[in-house]
Amino acid sequence: MRNSVYSLLLFFAGLLSSNYVFAQNNGAVENVMRSNGKIYVVLAVCITILVGLILYMVSIDKKIAKIEDKQ
């Protein structure tokens, strides 16, 4: 259950950020994402992966904690 919530959250975060990347007239965010050889796009991808992995670890951590509490 919790896992599916996380993946949904990630999915929507992805949707949102792609909107920012592709929108043609999106002001400040648009400018930031396209500046400097578009390094910010790479940064956004890497941060998304990092956050995804960490959410996954948090969920494993909680599952183990639950089993520990049952012992």
- Write out the residues near other proteins by the rule CB under 8 A: 39, 42-43, 46-47, 50-51, 54, 57-58, 60-61, 64-65, 67-68, 71
CA distance 9 to 5: 6
CB 20 within 8 A of CB 29: yes
Nearest-approach distance from CB 56 to other proteins, in angstroms:
11
Which of 24/37 has CB closer to other proteins?
Answer: 37
Is the Cβ of residue 5 or residue 32 nearer to other proteins in the bound state? 32
DSSP 49-66: HHHHHHHHHHHHHHHHHH
Q: How far is the CB of 46 from other proteins (least distance, A)?
A: 5
Q: 59 exposed, middle or buried (CB, 10 Å; 0-12, 13-18, 19+)?
A: middle
- For other proteins, which is the closer residue by CB, 23 or 60? 60
